[in-house]
């Protein structure tokens, strides 16, 4: 008999290559992440079809899909339910459900069938403390090279904040495009953080020179990047 230890699959971490898999989805078969090369991807899991929190989330994501697409980001959902359950649930959402003014919502992004929980286990989406049979609300941000850049986990009871998911996506793209970091509560148009000086000479120069950089001390310097410049770099033309 196998031990519990032999069944443990290490959870992927930030900086790892996204675990590969092939799956059946509501939009046909996919080979992940190869099919999404060149785009950012948000891979997210939900506990079960025909549940109210998940329904509100899918309606929100579907309503914002175009906004994410303009930021070169594709959406891929997952639950451990079967394909026919997925199809029936998404049809019900479109035909019957209204939430926060959203109605007649069509979910066009793929929803993965994962009855065997193979994908959920690869990504650490099954958390025994919550449930042995339902995936928690995990969110994986995967960059165009197939590298995991950020991971967020929510308990089964907590619906996600989609403004924050979009903010995090744009912040990471901004960091890549301008070689900067983004401070707490950053929004496009706010000042960004310049990487810490790597030598005493650079630190001294930053404190003495008059530039568009504002240094509060040698290790904490910011500079402005306009909202227009951020979106020129991030949004697809």
| DSSP assignment string, 12-44 | P-TTSBPPPEEE-BBTB-EEETGGGTTSEEEEE
Q: Using CA atoms, how far apart are residues 6 and 39, in angstroms rounded to an integer?
A: 35
Q: Using CA atoms, how far apart are residues 236 and 205, in angstroms rounded to an integer?
A: 37
Query: What is the three-class DSSP state of 113?
Result: strand
Q: Using CA atoms, how far apart are residues 156 and 166, in angstroms rounded to an integer?
A: 21
* E strands in the chain: 21-23, 30-32, 40-45, 73-79, 111-113, 137-142, 148-154, 192-193, 214-217, 220-223
Tell me: is residue 160 an annotated ligand-binding position.
no
Catalytic-labelled residue, pool 54, 73, 215, 221: 54
* 54 included as an active-site residue: yes
Q: Using CA atoms, how far apart are residues 221 and 214, in angstroms rounded to an integer?
A: 5
User: Binding-site residues, please?
Assistant: 137
User: Binding-site residues for substrate, please?
Assistant: 137
Active site residues: 54
């Amino acid at each position: 008999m196998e031990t519990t230890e032999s069944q443990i699959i290490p959870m992927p971490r930030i900086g790892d290559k996204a675990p590969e898999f092939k799956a059946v989805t509501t939009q046909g078969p996919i080979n992940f992440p190869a099919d999404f090369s060149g785009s950012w991807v948000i891979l997210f899991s939900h506990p079960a079809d025909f549940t109210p929190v998940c329904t509100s989330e899918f309606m929100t994501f579907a309503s914002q899909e175009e906004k994410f697409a303009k930021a070169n980001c594709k959406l891929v959902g997952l639950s451990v339910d079967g394909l026919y359950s997925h199809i029936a649930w998404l049809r019900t959402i479109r035909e019957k459900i209204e939430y926060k003014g959203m109605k007649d919502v069509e979910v066009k992004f793929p929803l993965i069938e994962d009855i065997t929980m193979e994908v959920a286990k690869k990504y650490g989406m099954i958390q025994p403390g919550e449930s042995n049979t339902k995936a928690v609300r995990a969110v994986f941000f995967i960059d165009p090279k197939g590298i995991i850049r950020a991971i967020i986990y929510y308990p089964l009871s907590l619906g996600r904040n989609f403004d924050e998911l979009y903010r995090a996506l744009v912040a990471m793209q901004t960091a890549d495009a301008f070689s900067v970091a983004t401070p707490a509560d950053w929004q496009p148009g706010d000042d960004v953080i310049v990487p810490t000086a790597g030598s005493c000479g650079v630190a001294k120069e930053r404190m003495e020179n008059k530039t568009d950089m504002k240094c509060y001390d040698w290790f904490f310097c910011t500079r402005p990047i306009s909202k227009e410049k951020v979106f020129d770099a991030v949004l697809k033309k």
